[in-house]
Amino acid sequence: MKELTWVEVSKEALRHNIGEFRKIVGKDVILCPCVKANAYGHGLIETGKVFLESGADWLAVNSLYEAVSLREAKVSSPIYVLGYVPLADLAMVCELDLRIVVYDKETVEELGKIGKPVKIHLKIETGNNRQGILMDDLLDFAGFVSEFSNIEIEGVATHFANVEDTTDHSYAEKQLEKFNTAIERLEDAGFKIKLKHCANSAATILFRETHFNMVRPGIAAYGMWPSKETYISYLKDGGEGFKLMPAFTWKTRIAQIKTVAAGEYIGYGCTYKTGSEARLAILPIGYYDGYDRCVHGAYVLIRGKRAYVRGRVCMNIIMVDVSDIDGVELEDEVVLIGRDGEEFISAEDFGNFAGTINYEVTTRVNDRIKRIYN
């Protein structure tokens, strides 16, 4: 069947971005890109494989089902599970040789009962206040784990709350300080911790002291800057030479072209009224596909030109104005996100249309939509 909407993923861009990370972390740091959320919308399996072929060492997923998919696709690299694994599923962690992040005793107890060798990473609460073991409970927790001979504390981890949302990094510095204190306490108490990691994309790019011996970049591995603030901070610190290549292009085709008279309403709620006669292209995608219903001032690219969205985004359809574009034909390709000639709609631009961030934009493009790798 001919695809009506699809995502083109540039393997070259993915490879390039991993190469850029390798350059900044050096050869001895474990590069563990995050492929959660369907590899930020780029397709879990293919993207994971491209990352590993390009020099990544590990892959990080959120959920067990993602790890299962990777193993079923014969991915044999270490896989780190960032999210919660239900107690009932912990046996699979051992069977599939996964690393998991741990922050509650129930999980430790259950792993102890299973009795098979397993490597865990303790998540330390340093200020994000989502997952994590409180600093005051840390030694007690590690002591509890050491009662189970099959469980190895392979690593300790934390996660920054405020690196990419600001150019003021004092909160991140405090978190890093706490993380270092936590490591010190564990080591003073005789725990030998092989791996220490805390860096997401922004921290990896901006702060060498966050690399330790493993980094977990997500968004930037796909060629997107975590935020404008991160980019500005990078430039302000005299950064140069680190270049990202966006890998994601989302396309569709024109499903109808029609002329509507002046004074006609377009779409549900009659929110748009034509001021003069207009040519409309009807596109077969909508919020079901991940084209956000709340966009403002959004446009798509047709024949290298901007065509503005008119009226509300429907479930499976949007309408765009092609009055000023010559030669438009039925089934012409349309770029929703990505480059067309001189014009480029970045995921960040789309995020600005929709009042959200690039992360949400690519991850919400429906998984059902085919990813084509080139």
Q: Which parts of this chain interact with ligand PLP (CB under 6 A)?
A: 34, 82, 159, 200-201, 216-220, 226
- 218 vs 223, beta carbon nearer ligand PLP: 218
Q: Which residue, among 193, 199, 192, has the nearest Cα to 214 in the 3D structure?
A: 199
- 48 vs 218, beta carbon nearer ligand PLP: 218
In this chain, which residue has its C-beta nearest to ligand PLP? 218
- 57 vs 343, beta carbon nearer ligand PLP: 57
Cα 295–Cα 364–Cα 318 angle in degrees, nearest 5 = 40
The answer to whether 133 touches 141, Cβ cutoff 8 Å, is yes
Active-site residue among 194, 228, 258, 268?
268
Shortest distance, CB of residue 16 to ligand PLP, whole angstroms? 17
Shortest distance, CB of residue 54 to ligand PLP, whole angstroms? 17
Give the integer Cα–Cα distance in Å for 235 and 224: 16
- 227 vs 252, beta carbon nearer ligand PLP: 227
| 40 is known as an active-site residue | no
- 207 vs 299, beta carbon nearer ligand PLP: 207
Adjacent-strand bridge partners of 280: 258, 321
Active-site residue among 36, 119, 196, 251?
36
Number of Cβ within a 10 Å radius of residue 287: 19
- 218 vs 286, beta carbon nearer ligand PLP: 218
Q: Which residue, among 74, 27, 30, has the nearest Cα to 48 in the 3D structure?
A: 74
Classified as helix, coil or strand, 162 is coil
C-alpha distance across the termini of the chain, in Å:
19
Q: Count the helix, strand and coil residues of the chain and give each as a percent rounded to the nearest 5.
A: 35, 25, 40
Shortest distance, CB of residue 289 to ligand PLP, whole angstroms? 23
Q: Which positions ≥6 away from 102 have C-beta within 8 Å?
A: 108, 111, 120, 121, 122, 123, 145
Shortest distance, CB of residue 50 to ligand PLP, whole angstroms? 17
Shortest distance, CB of residue 29 to ligand PLP, whole angstroms? 14
Alpha-carbon Rg for the chain, nearest whole angstrom, is 24
Shortest distance, CB of residue 82 to ligand PLP, whole angstroms? 5
Provide the token pair at 109.
Answer: 């107890």
The answer to whether 14 touches 247, Cβ cutoff 8 Å, is yes
Dihedral sign, Cα of residue 230, residue 232, residue 237, residue 242: positive
| 268 is known as an active-site residue | yes
Active site residues: 36, 268
